[in-house]
């Protein structure tokens, strides 16, 4: 349960930022440095000490899709491929939890429907069950704790009107509503799906009237700009 004097920030952290091929120690150190400004005792911090607490839901990323592709080659069912992704997201989450040791809740949270009670400023979560991406888990966490905004740290600058890897004329979108966003991502979830925010999570976020902020995690100063209520580079979905 969030402490009343603290604002809860939910971050859906793309696994491809944590493990783009191998564990990105540089990114993780920068991520720790960024969040520490909002939970530590540094008098130069942009916010008062302890003003924020973070729920960080860690995804499986590229590594997850590599394993799922191999399982598919061997005839694995969708449920089994989903469990592979869940287990990899939990492994990634253990790394991120260790990063914040001393500030983080002592377990990786895997059930977003249950509230936890802790005085720690960082809570790390991961995949829950088949059919539920970490994006979906982040939306359920927001619902459970009454949070209205989710930050989705990904590896692109914006949401685009079509896949920029396939269409050179794809246009970046600084703002988009849920109805039009869901036209882009579709309505079908499959294990390992790579989308800015997955279809099931988008549908639930829309029904809950949540706001999702898409920010490129490779440029963490953009995350700081958002947290400091400054103009930032990214996409707002609402």
**CATH number of the domain that 17 lies in?**
3.40.1160.10
Q: Which domain holds residue 61?
A: 7-237
Q: Which residues contact 198 (CB under 8 A, 6 or more apart)?
A: 133, 135, 136, 185, 189
116-139 pLDDT, tens digit per residue, is 999 899 999 999 988 788 889 999
100-117 pLDDT, tens digit per residue, is 999 999 999 999 999 999
Q: Which residues contact 207 (CB under 8 A, 6 or more apart)?
A: none
Residue 97: per-residue pLDDT: 96
Confidence of residue 66 (pLDDT cuts 50, 70, 90): confident
Q: Is the pLDDT at 186 greater than 80, yes or no?
A: no
Asked if the structure places residue 37 within a domain, the reply is: yes
CA distance 36 to 3: 18
Asked if the structure places residue 119 within a domain, the reply is: yes
Give yes or no for a contact between 121 and 55, defined as CB atoms under 8 angstroms apart. Answer: no
What is the average pLDDT value for the chain, to the nearest integer? 87
Q: What is the pTM of this model?
A: 0.87
Give yes or no for a contact between 184 and 205, defined as CB atoms under 8 angstroms apart. Answer: no
CA distance 49 to 38: 7
Beta strands across the sheet bearing 122-125? 122-125, 52-58, 7-13, 149-154, 211-216, 235-237, 175-176
Asked if the structure places residue 79 within a domain, the reply is: yes
- Helical (H) or strand (E) element with 214: strand 211-216
145-182 pLDDT, tens digit per residue, is 999 999 999 988 999 888 787 888 889 999 999 999 98
Asked if the structure places residue 1 within a domain, the reply is: no
Asked if the structure places residue 2 within a domain, the reply is: no
Question: What are residue 123's DSSP bridge partners?
Answer: 55
Asked if the structure places residue 99 within a domain, the reply is: yes
Split into its structural domains, the chain has a count of: 1
Phi, psi angles (nearest 5°) of residue 168:
-60, -25
């Amino acid at each position: 349960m969030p402490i009343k004097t603290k604002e809860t920030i939910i971050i859906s952290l793309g696994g491809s930022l944590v493990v783009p091929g191998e564990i990105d120690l540089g990114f993780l150190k920068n991520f720790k440095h960024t969040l520490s400004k909002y939970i530590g005792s540094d008098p130069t911090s942009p916010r008062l000490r302890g003003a924020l607490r973070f729920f960080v839901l860690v995804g499986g990323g590229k590594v997850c899709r590599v394993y799922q592709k191999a399982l598919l080659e061997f005839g694995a069912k969708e449920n089994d491929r989903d469990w592979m992704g869940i287990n990899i997201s939990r492994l990634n989450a253990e790394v991120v939890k260790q990063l914040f040791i001393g500030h983080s809740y002592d377990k990786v949270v895997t059930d977003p429907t249950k509230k936890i009670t802790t005085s720690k400023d960082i809570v790390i979560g991961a995949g829950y069950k088949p059919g539920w991406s970490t994006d979906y888990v982040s939306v359920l966490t927001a619902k459970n704790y009454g949070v209205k905004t989710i930050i989705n740290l990904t590896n692109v600058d914006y949401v685009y009107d079509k896949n920029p890897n396939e269409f050179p004329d794809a246009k970046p979108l600084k703002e988009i509503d849920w109805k039009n966003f869901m036209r882009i991502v579709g309505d079908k979830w499959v294990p390992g799906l790579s989308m800015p925010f997955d279809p099931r999570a988008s549908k639930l976020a829309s029904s809950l009237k949540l706001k999702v902020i898409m920010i490129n995690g490779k440029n963490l100063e953009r995350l700081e700009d958002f947290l400091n209520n400054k103009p930032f580079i990214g996409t707002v979905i609402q």
